[in-house]
Every structure is written in C-alpha cells, then in structure tokens.
C-alpha cells in the first residue's frame, strides 16, 4: 500500500487531514450501479472513502458494456453489483467494498431499517415513488441522501438532508477581518507607536497598510464628528489624503492602502446572514442540540457582550508590503486578540454545556478554535422533503422559472423528468423506449406533462414541442458522458457533505446537456 499522505497529497491540500479522516470513516450505500452510480462511487473510492455497499439486482447485459466502464465482456449475464464492486475494489485496496444482489426498490419496500447503518446513501436512477419512500426512511434515520439520475442528455442531482451545518465553508472571496475602522486598544496602541512622518524613506515605504489605514481612519473620524467616509465624495477625499502621505512614487504600501481603503468604509458589526443565523430557532439549545448550535449560542452571547457587536476576530492578516518586524508584530497582535476572543467563547460554551446537562468538556478546544476562526462564515443548509417538493413546489419560484428564458429549458427538463416516471407508471415503459412508438409516445408524454403541470398549479403553462420531442428521442438512454458528469457532481457533493467543508449545492440541479445551460431550481 502506498504512503497515504503521498497518494492523497493533491486532495489533502483541499480538505486537510480532518476532511480525509471524515471520508475514511464514512460508509456509503449505492442504489443501482449503472454508469451514473458506478461513476459516483469511482470518484469516492479513489479519494479513499471508508466503505461502499453496492446494491443492484440486475444482471449485466450487452447494452451495459456500451455505457459502463466497470463492466466488460466477461461480465455479461453476471450480477452487475458484483462486477462493479470488483472493479471498484481494484481502484483502492484501502476501501472496504461489498455488494448485495438485490433490487433497490424491493429493499426500500421490505427492509427500511437496512439504510440506517450508512453515513450516506447515493440513490441513482430511482423512480419517483421509490425516491419519496427512501427519502422518508433516510430522514427518519438521520442518514444523508443524494439522488442522481441521468436521462438522455439531461438529468438531476438533489441532496436531501434535514439540516447540514458547515463551519469550514472556505469561501473563495471573503472580506478579511482587520477591524480597521473599529480597532481594539492593542491595535490602536500599536498604530500609535508608529509615526507616518518618518523621514527615512526605507522605513516610510515599509509601514504596513493596516497601520496607515487605522491611523487615517482615526484622524478622519476625529475631524468628522466620529463618523467615517460614507459618500462617494468623502471616499474619494479619503483616498486623496492617503495619497498625500506618499513621499515617493514606488511606495507599494501606500498604493495598497488606497486599494484597501474600502475596508475602512465597510460597515461595523456582523453581516445580515450571520445575524439571521444567530436568530435561528435552533439557537435555543437543549441536551439534544448539536455541538454546532451550542457554539452558535455562545457566539450570540459573545456578540452581545464582550464582542461589542462583533464576531470573534479571525486572527490572520493578508500579506502586505512591510518590514518583517512590523509585519510579524502586527500578526502577533491579531493572533493575541483572536485567542482572547476564542477563550471568551470557550468559557461560554462550557457554561452552556453545563446548563443543558452535558459534560462541559464534551466539545474540544480545537473545535471551538476552528469555530471561532470561521465564525463569520458559518453556513446552514436545509433541504425540503422530496415529497413536499413533488406535491407542493414553491409556487413563486416555479412560476418564475417557467417564464424566465434562462430557466425555461431547465425547468422544462425538470417537469419532463417527472413526467416520464408518470408515463412509465401508466404505460409500463419510458417514452421513446421503442422505435416504432415514437409518434404515439410524443403525444402521450405531452398529455402527461400537461397533466403534471396542472397538478402543480401551473394551468396554462406549456412546454415546447421541441423539448417533448427531445425527451422521447432519449428513450431513457443512460449515456456514459452524461452519467460521468452527473456522477461527478454527485460525488463532489458527497465529499462536501461528509467532510463538512465547503457549501453543498442547494435545490435541485438540472443538467442541460444540450447547451450546458444547467440550473439549480429551488422548489
């Protein structure tokens, strides 16, 4: 076996050892191992997922050889689950791989408690009826669930989890936490020790922009009754003031200060999304609350008390032109404040735990530290039950999609993906499955889709003939490239859910393989 650190190096750089450990602990159940399911698992097995259980009751047909890489000529007439599982095991011997030769639909009907042993279930190519049942089972058992389906040049991915909380959401672009317009005493004291009037040009050009901006903001506030630049004119004037301090053209630190001056103009206090989060119903904790919500309550108290309206300081600063000494000292000041804030939160966490009757040390210091560092980026995702979405989709959204040109194809596919299941329930096969019945199927599918739209409260809405025709042309084909795309998306979402890092997708992802104008629908 290869040194896992080397083998997983390129992904450890993304989700770190904690993320990797979470993956290695996870057990995944796959329903149906056609190309969509097989490709989903392939990506997870390569990344070192803990264990997989492949469930499929079918035998490999010649047609499967044309769309599924996990089966080959020697697999024909053998159990598909067995063949796929054997190939997946070959990819990574660190993964525990097993299979069950059983029809997933039957398993859902007869053995609902089976699913509670898994961390997450990936359900592929299921019909609507089974999706609804499985969804209820997994919700009840607190098992994460992802649906994935490929159908011709379209398909979907949908997460179903009651609540998914993310501490390390790792957004690409996020305003750094520098408190330039609201410095705490130590930062202000540090800025006070530095004189911008210094004549030595080397020292002058190595004063970090954080210090420049803290001093300039303070000076501005003094002469403007305590307020900061807010109008466009004032902001321009503020930048001119910074510029006036430059004594040479090549002073990168002043250029950086001008570029970063918007950080002075940013509003103090917490963002509206964080405000919403601390006001969430779940922020009333009891002994059954998750660690996340216990820490959110501590955060809420902190903001109202010692935080003076601010979240705990993040503690890191971006690179900036500076002498090494000033930069390192500045870094220490930010770190010290972050540590003090974290300590305050920790105390609150311990008290809350005691109050709700839990062991005060049941949340580790490391967890609290990570929480504090990411306090401004906390994210909560909630997903409707599939049944609710199917029976009563959010009307304003649905209406919007049906009339918005950017969404019309995607929502058309959404309706048709549901309509083909109704069609199959009525006529025992998918539309366009057989060459000779195309014309009849087109008109039947149209009728089915119109009926569905009317059931969803969208009387009068229609789908284009082109799209209905296209859906019949697909004849329920599971094309490899589409399956690989859908499976890729599903596996990426699985990774985000299991590592509890990054933000998983919301709503239903509708893949549009015609022109790639895919959409997320929040229904």
Where in 150-209 is the site for other proteins (CB under 8 A)? 152-153, 169-172, 206
482 in contact with other proteins (CB under 8 A): yes
Q: CB of 437 within 8 A of CB of 446?
A: no
Minimal distance, residue 467 CB to other proteins, in Å: 8
> What single DSSP character describes residue 286?
-
Alpha carbons 89 and 79: distance in angstroms, whole number: 16
| Tokens describing residue 119 | 């961390």
Q: Closest CB to other proteins among 181 and 519? A: 519
Q: CB of 486 within 8 A of CB of 157?
A: yes
Minimal distance, residue 363 CB to other proteins, in Å: 26
506 in contact with other proteins (CB under 8 A): yes
Nearest to 107 by CA among 66, 149, 150, 57: 57
Residues 94-133 that bind other proteins (CB under 8 A): none
Alpha carbons 146 and 157: distance in angstroms, whole number: 7
Residues 318-357 that bind other proteins (CB under 8 A): 319-324, 327-328
Select from 31, 398, 484, 523 the one that contacts other proteins (CB under 8 A).
484
Alpha carbons 386 and 136: distance in angstroms, whole number: 8
Tell me the window of 55-63, 132-140, 260-268, 283-291 that interacts with other proteins (CB under 8 A). Answer: 55-63
Minimal distance, residue 145 CB to other proteins, in Å: 17
Minimal distance, residue 343 CB to other proteins, in Å: 20
The residue written with tokens 């305590």 in the block is 226
Residues 24-53 that bind other proteins (CB under 8 A): 35, 39, 42-44, 46-48
11 in contact with other proteins (CB under 8 A): yes
Tell me the window of 265-273, 294-302, 412-420, 498-506 that interacts with other proteins (CB under 8 A). Answer: 498-506
62 in contact with other proteins (CB under 8 A): yes
Q: Closest CB to other proteins among 182 and 518? A: 518
Select from 176, 360, 434, 451 the one that contacts other proteins (CB under 8 A).
434
**What length is written for the chain?**
523
Q: CB of 377 within 8 A of CB of 174?
A: yes
404 in contact with other proteins (CB under 8 A): no
Select from 80, 375, 470, 499 the one that contacts other proteins (CB under 8 A).
470
Q: Closest CB to other proteins among 10 and 232? A: 10
461 in contact with other proteins (CB under 8 A): no
How far the first Cα of the chain sits from its last, in Å, is: 46
Residues 204-243 that bind other proteins (CB under 8 A): 206
Select from 36, 119, 261, 491 the one that contacts other proteins (CB under 8 A).
491
Tell me the window of 226-234, 266-274, 417-425, 511-519 that interacts with other proteins (CB under 8 A). Answer: 511-519
Q: What is the DSSP string of 244-282?
A: HT-SSTT-HHHHHHHHTTHHHHSPSS--HHHHHHHTSGG
| Tokens describing residue 255 | 């250029």
Minimal distance, residue 412 CB to other proteins, in Å: 11
Ordered strands of the 144-151 beta sheet: 96-100, 51-55, 27-31, 120-124, 144-151, 154-160, 508-512, 519-521
67 in contact with other proteins (CB under 8 A): yes
Minimal distance, residue 163 CB to other proteins, in Å: 16
Where are any strands of DSSP class E within 154-275?
A: 154-160, 163-166
Alpha carbons 75 and 273: distance in angstroms, whole number: 53
Minimal distance, residue 208 CB to other proteins, in Å: 9
Q: Closest CB to other proteins among 164 and 179? A: 164
Minimal distance, residue 101 CB to other proteins, in Å: 21
Q: CB of 46 within 8 A of CB of 70?
A: no
Alpha carbons 163 and 504: distance in angstroms, whole number: 11
Alpha carbons 56 and 262: distance in angstroms, whole number: 57
Burial of 13 by CB count in 10 Å (0-12 exposed, 13-18 middle, 19+ buried)? exposed
256 in contact with other proteins (CB under 8 A): no
Q: Closest CB to other proteins among 32 and 289? A: 32
| Tokens describing residue 88 | 């997946």
495 in contact with other proteins (CB under 8 A): yes
């Amino acid at each position: 076996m290869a040194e896992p650190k080397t083998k997983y190096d390129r992904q450890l750089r993304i989700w770190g050892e904690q993320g990797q450990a979470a993956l290695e602990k996870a057990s995944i159940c796959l329903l149906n191992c056609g190309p969509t399911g097989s490709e989903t698992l392939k990506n997870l097995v390569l990344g070192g997922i803990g264990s997989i259980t492949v469930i499929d009751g079918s035998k490999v047909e010649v047609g499967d050889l044309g769309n599924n890489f996990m089966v080959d000529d020697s697999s024909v007439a053998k159990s598909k689950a067995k063949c796929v599982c054997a190939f997946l095991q070959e990819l990574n011997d660190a993964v525990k791989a097993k299979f069950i030769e059983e029809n997933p639909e039957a398993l859902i009907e007869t053995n609902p408690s089976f699913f509670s042993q898994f961390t997450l279930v990936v359900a592929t190519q299921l019909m609507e009826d089974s999706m609804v049942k499985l969804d209820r089972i997994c919700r009840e058992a607190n098992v994460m669930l992802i649906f994935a389906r490929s159908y011709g040049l379209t398909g979907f991915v949908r997460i179903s989890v009651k609540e998914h909380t993310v501490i390390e959401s790792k957004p690409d672009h996020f305003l750094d936490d520098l408190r330039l317009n609201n410095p705490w005493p130590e930062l202000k004291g540090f800025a006070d020790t530095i004189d911008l009037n210094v004549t030595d040009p080397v020292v002058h050009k190595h004063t970090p922009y954080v210090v420049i901006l803290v001093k300039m903001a303070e000076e501005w506030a003094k002469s403007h009754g305590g307020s900061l630049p807010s109008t466009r004119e004032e902001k321009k004037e503020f930048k001119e003031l910074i510029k006036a301090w430059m004594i040479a053209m090549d002073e990168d630190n002043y250029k950086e200060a001008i570029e970063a001056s918007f950080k002075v103009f940013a509003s103090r206090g917490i963002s509206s999304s964080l405000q919403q989060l601390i006001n969430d119903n779940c922020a009333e904790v009891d002994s059954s609350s998750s660690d996340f919500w216990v820490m959110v309550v501590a955060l809420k108290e902190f903001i109202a008390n010692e935080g003076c309206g601010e979240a705990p300081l993040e503690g890191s600063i971006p690179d900036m032109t500076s002498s090494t000494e000033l930069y390192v000292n500045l870094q220490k000041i930010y770190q010290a404040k972050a540590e003090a804030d974290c300590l305050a939160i920790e105390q609150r966490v311990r008290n809350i735990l005691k109050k709700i009757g839990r062991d005060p040390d049941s949340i580790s210091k490391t967890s609290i530290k990570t929480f504090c560092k990411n306090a401004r980026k906390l994210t909560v995702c909630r997903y409707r039950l599939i049944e609710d979405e199917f029976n009563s989709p959010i009307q304003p959204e649905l209406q919007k999609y049906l009339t918005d040109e950017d969404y019309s194809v995607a929502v058309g596919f959404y309706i048709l993906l549901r309509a083909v299941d109704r069609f199959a329930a009525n006529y025992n096969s998918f539309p366009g499955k057989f060459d000779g019945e195309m014309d009849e199927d087109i008109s039947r599918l149209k009728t089915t889709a119109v009926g569905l739209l009317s059931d969803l409260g969208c009387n009068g809405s229609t789908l284009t003939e082109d799209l209905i025709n296209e859906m019949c042309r697909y004849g329920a084909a599971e094309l490899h490239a589409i399956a690989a795309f859908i499976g890729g998306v599903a596996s990426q979402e699985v990774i985000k859910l299991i590592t509890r890092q990054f933000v998983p997708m919301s709503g239903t992802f509708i893949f549009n393989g015609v022109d790639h104008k895919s959409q997320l629908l929040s229904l």
